[in-house]
Amino acid sequence: MPVYQAPLNDMRFVLKDVLDVEQLSKLPGYEEAGVDLIDAVMEEGAKICQDVLFPLNMSGDQEGCTRHDDGSVTTPKGFKEAYQTFIQGGWTGISADPEYGGSGMPVLVNTVMQEMICSSNMSFGMYPGLSQGAYEAIHLYGTEEQKALYLPKIVSGEWSGTMNLTEPHCGTDLGLIRTKADDNKDGSYAISGSKIYISAGEHDMVENIVHLVLARLPDAPEGVKGISLFVVPKFLPKEDGSLGARNKLICGSIEHKMGIHANSTCVMNFDGAQGWLVGEPHKGLRAMFAMMNAARLGVAMQGLGIAEVAYQNGLAYAKDRLQMRSLDGTKFPDKPADPIIVHPDVRRMLLTSKSIIEGCRALSFWTSMNLDISLKSENETEKQAADDLVALMTPILKAYQTDMGLEIASHAVQVHGGAGFIQEYGVEQYMRDARIAMIYEGTNGIQALDLVGRKMGQHMGRLLRRFFHPVNDFIEAHQADAEMAEFVMPLAKAFMKLQQATATVAQKGLKNPLEAGAASSDYLRMFALTALAYMWARMAKVAQQKLQSGEGDKEFYDAKIKTAQFFMSRVLPEADARFKMLMAGADTMMALKAEQF
């Protein structure tokens, strides 16, 4: 049976020692959110994830969701009860606006919770996760009446939310959507059309589901400039918030999927359903990105969460499974064979997983902390800089962490050997569940194009400078530190090549857009590795200081330094290969005619 223990010590190290999370309490609205409170919230969050959600992960996968003839959907056994426990703890509104019943905690705390939820039960986590996207869109672009009607119910978890974007003939290219919205002449619109791949589109855990639907008004211009966003509830709420008549929408079917079986991924059919415009006509794309950006950071945490639980299970198996003797002599003479963790190739997979996970955790938390600064700071310069960094890092986190979620899950299967291919050990589920995260909320190829095509040149390279400047400052501050040389020098080399790659891709891309497209995935991967190297250098510096002062857990800090050494020598060199690939240009990628494939 699989295992999971929330990595609270590592989280505390990043939050308290590396990022100094206490500084968030200086921001207006976060005055109470000091280290002690955040730690208490993490402790309670770990309990519900480990004790309530994790035990349902495997059974939920095996049972899946059931659609009934009337279009209703039943979630797996135990999910409904677990959801009630979840909302009673206030977890659906942990970082939401107190005006609508939220706890008003930093977004960073929600990010920490997202990792633990996704490790314990990714399918379950998608139900409240989708609600967060709906909350963000209504909170930013809804009318005061819409906010008052929908947000308290979404924040409390009584109602859930969805995002209805994709249609059978269009995914990323939303300019092709056909769902239409006809004016009812009473302030509402009749929404007609079909949407596919709608996560949590129909289920039995809440009394009402608030669908946010992209559709076209009759006079809409062609393409993405003609998209509007509508709020379309399953049940029409009355003015007092109680439920009225059933709206004209239904779950047509549940998709048969590779993974995330316990989440109801629906085909949703709208047949003149009553909806209300969110934001301005034809400006739905802007509101959609409010949902998408929140969702992309959430999906990045899905990748990290799956990676963490898969690694934990690979590690537990490696310490327990006996096979052969160590290449340099017996390590456990009291056993008939040594545990497989003594073997170099098993250690390669485990250390690769560990170093990437801990680097990604630090990078995710740093980005989320900047998101809080962008939302709460009263210093406009600081606020803008933080917002720029979040915009830059969002596609990198989404793409890299979901890529690594699959890769690390694959490592866990491989460490298990034949047992990894068997359902009862649990790790094969992590591999299946992880795969979707590379696709939805914008495929990872789209994230790479976003980074190169939009973020790189935005505001004359201002977004890039928000990352380049602190990295350069760190290198200059520590380049003369002999104890930091093994971390600073690899970082400096990777950073130099990233700058070179940035200039090359920008120059070539201006002359030929195919050059930017061909380089985009390698550039994103190179950027991510450099960012992780920066975070590992920072963590190594803190660990050295802790060891020198003699405070804390010596073994913990020693392990940090050794893991940082492994990352710099064994993982970061991939950036060199990515550099060579992107510098090769687009010619060999585009030369083959379609009929020659």
Q: Look up the CATH number of the domain holding residue 29.
A: 1.10.540.10
441 classed as catalytic: yes
Structure tokens at 500: 């070179």
Same domain, 127 and 164: no
What is the domain count for the chain?
A: 3
**Assigned domain for 97 exists:** yes
The answer to whether 155 touches 92, Cβ cutoff 8 Å, is yes
What CATH number corresponds to the domain at position 192?
2.40.110.20
Which DSSP symbol is given to 568? Answer: I
Same domain, 149 and 98: no
Burial class (CB in 10 A: 0-12, 13-18, 19+), 549: exposed
**Assigned domain for 260 exists:** yes
Q: Say what the pLDDT of residue 233 is.
A: 98
Same domain, 150 and 281: yes
Q: How far is CA 576 from CA 356, 407, 580, in A?
A: 17, 20, 6
Decide: pTM greater than 0.95.
Answer: yes
Q: Say what the pLDDT of residue 488 is.
A: 98
Chain length of the chain: 597
Q: Among 98, 116, 134, which residue terminates a domain? A: 134
Same domain, 154 and 204: yes
Q: Say what the pLDDT of residue 293 is.
A: 79
Same domain, 41 and 159: no
Helix, strand and coil percent figures for the chain, each rounded to 5: 65, 10, 25
Pair type for strands 265-278 and 189-199: antiparallel
Active-site residue, selected from the candidate residues 115, 136, 407, 441: 441
Same domain, 163 and 275: yes
Q: Say what the pLDDT of residue 239 is.
A: 83
**Assigned domain for 425 exists:** no
Q: Say what the pLDDT of residue 176 is.
A: 81
**Assigned domain for 120 exists:** yes
**Assigned domain for 538 exists:** yes
Question: Given CA atoms 307, 308, 313, 314 in this order, what sign does their dihedral have?
Answer: positive
Q: Among 91, 110, 134, which residue terminates a domain? A: 134
Range of the domain at 172: 144-286
Same domain, 195 and 263: yes
Same domain, 50 and 176: no
Same domain, 16 and 116: yes
Q: Among 134, 166, 195, which residue terminates a domain? A: 134
Same domain, 273 and 227: yes
pLDDT (tens, 9 = 90+) of the chain, 597 residues, equals 899 999 999 999 999 999 999 999 999 999 999 999 999 999 999 999 999 999 999 999 999 999 999 999 999 999 999 999 999 999 999 999 999 999 999 999 999 999 999 999 999 999 999 999 999 999 999 999 999 999 999 999 999 999 999 999 887 777 789 999 999 999 999 999 999 999 999 999 999 999 999 999 999 998 888 999 999 999 999 988 899 999 999 999 999 999 999 999 999 999 999 999 999 999 998 887 777 778 899 999 999 999 999 999 999 999 999 999 999 999 999 999 999 999 999 999 999 999 999 999 999 999 999 999 999 999 999 999 999 999 999 999 999 999 999 999 999 999 999 999 999 999 999 999 999 999 999 999 999 999 999 999 999 999 999 999 999 999 999 999 999 999 999 999 999 999 999 999 999 999 999 999 999 999 999 999 999 999 999 999 999 999 999 989 999 999 999 999 999 999 999 999 999 999 999 999 999 999 999
What backbone torsions phi and psi does residue 225 show, to the nearest 5 degrees? -75, 0
| Gap between the Cα atoms of 363 and 295, Å rounded | 17
**Assigned domain for 342 exists:** no
**Assigned domain for 370 exists:** no
Same domain, 120 and 168: no
Q: Say what the pLDDT of residue 52 is.
A: 98
Residue keyed to tokens 């004359």: 460
Burial class (CB in 10 A: 0-12, 13-18, 19+), 458: middle
The answer to whether 495 touches 472, Cβ cutoff 8 Å, is yes
Pair type for strands 265-278 and 73-74: unpaired
Q: Say what the pLDDT of residue 290 is.
A: 75
Structure tokens at 413: 């299967």
Same domain, 95 and 39: yes
**Assigned domain for 450 exists:** no
